[in-house]
A and B are shown apart, each in its own frame.
Chain A
């Protein structure tokens, strides 16, 4: 009998714990907010409040931003005591889908305008909010020992080269195909098809291309110049500006952010001279 009773208690406790979960999940990582009126001034780091309320800012950022944004996140945390920046790095198209499906994001940094525009038309982002914050362009990377002996861009079309791109719906995969279109003009109309025939895998984000080339599984990959900066051991083949595609990355806070003030100050920080210096260090160019 005693056992039954304690079991009952356990069950009751379990059910009680379950009940609130039936309502939509509000803010998972946060203690119950005591709606204090100091929410707005919190955008400026408060110097007079001794114990800032711990808060988490969820930043969804394109995979190419891993190194730069991790550093920016640390700086932002240092400047805003009590704030933790949690990153979700993936292909921009994957992040866009996650946001559409209700993932709790505060800031979205996309590697192309397309994914951002989709979120604007889905009312996840204010139409006026997206701000270009950097420019990036493409480069060919090769393993350090260049196993396929690729000397120039035309070498990408050589028979038997194992080329890894990103899938067409991943921003960098789309840019690479645009660039190949441009190369058709210079190297002959069949060039793009020959190169695409060498593709052995269409990866889900740019960093997976880098890894496959670093491991020597692929003979070549087309990535952003910033990725080549982050992997200095790799060989590179530059793509001249007239054959290159310049990617402009937009950033914006999300309409449904629970930390709208903090989200905006993170965006401001990325756009500030300090944030831009970090981006430049990782091989990104300024938006203008």
Chain B
């Protein structure tokens, strides 16, 4: 169907709002780069505080991602392939941290795993305290970021053809073989893109961390924390770290999109 000239003139109805909304995203990014890329950029990006924060962020978010894959894959598999009561309720709870303000997550973590917390006091009797440790940083990141992986993996597992599963069972594959030989490879791309999303989100986690883990250089001060505090102390460091985070996040997001596109081609 060819749009008439008259109709074509109305295309601005679509373009104008889009441009307005797009500038909401584009202008701040541009401003961030414009103001931070100067002679001091490398001095700030390579300052001790920035490097410590970068190192901690990379280590903690990597651990978060690995732990999420380890615990989240079986969980997503159960949610995707098993049938049981109150499953939708469980799924809702797992998705909740995606939409919840991270400060709520931080407070809840502190109340649960803090020294006086419900579970934390139990840990305390074993000589383990979580708040103010790097472990707390990882837990906070997992709380907010793991749901993204579980969600993606769950969808990946769900989309696998039921017949393949049946065929494997006819061949005599047991549950573990079915998972290892069939389901895991077929859901591979969904798992990888989920893992990257989780990694990106963990890298950006701030609200839950500041409440639950506190702020100590090299121990709990991640990049977003250093940006927040840098805003009051040394805005150069805040800007440099922000630019680094934008670039890294963009690269990772690009990678997931590429994976998703390949996935679509294949189907």
Q: List the interface of chain A (C-beta within 8 A of B).
A: 4, 7-8, 11, 18, 91, 93-94, 96-97, 147, 162, 164, 167, 169, 199-204, 212, 215-217
Contacts and interface: CB of A to CB of B under 8 A. Distances in A.
22 contacts: A11-B16, A11-B17, A94-B231, A94-B232, A97-B232, A97-B235, A147-B115, A164-B214, A167-B215, A169-B232, A199-B216, A201-B216, A202-B217, A204-B215, A212-B214, A215-B114, A215-B116, A217-B110, A217-B115, A217-B116, A217-B131, A217-B132
Contact of B115 (A8, A93, A96, A216): A216
Nearest to A167: B229
The 9 closest A-B pairs by CB, nearest first: A201-B214, A200-B132, A216-B116, A93-B232, A169-B233, A217-B131, A94-B232, A97-B232, A201-B132
A93 B233 contact: yes
B249 to A, nearest CB: 24
A202 B232 contact: no
Contacts of A11: 13, 16-17
Contacts of B110: 215, 217
* Chain A, interface SS category: mixed
Given A169-B232, A202-B214, 18 more contacts: A7-B13, A11-B13, A11-B16, A96-B232, A167-B229, A200-B131, A200-B214, A201-B216, A201-B220, A202-B215, A203-B214, A204-B229, A212-B214, A215-B110, A215-B114, A217-B114, A217-B115, A217-B131
Contacts of B232: 91, 93-94, 96-97, 169, 204
Interface residues of B, number: 25
A29 to B, nearest CB: 23
Contacts of A201: 132, 214-216, 220
A115 to B, nearest CB: 10
Nearest to B231: A97
A220 to B, nearest CB: 13
A21 to B, nearest CB: 11
Nearest to A168: B233
A214 B235 CA distance: 32
Interface of B: 10, 13, 16-17, 20, 110, 114-116, 129, 131-132, 210, 214-217, 219-220, 228-229, 231-233, 235
Contacts, number: 63
A34 B16 CA distance: 36
B216 A202 contact: yes
A93 B131 CA distance: 26
A201 B106 CA distance: 15
- Listed residue (A91, A97, A162, A217) with the most chain B CB atoms within 10 angstroms of its CB: A217
A7 B16 CA distance: 13
Given A212-B214, A217-B115, A8 B233 contact: no
Nearest to B131: A217
Contacts of A164: 214
Contacts of B216: 199-202
Nearest to B130: A217
A91 B13 CA distance: 46
Nearest to B116: A216
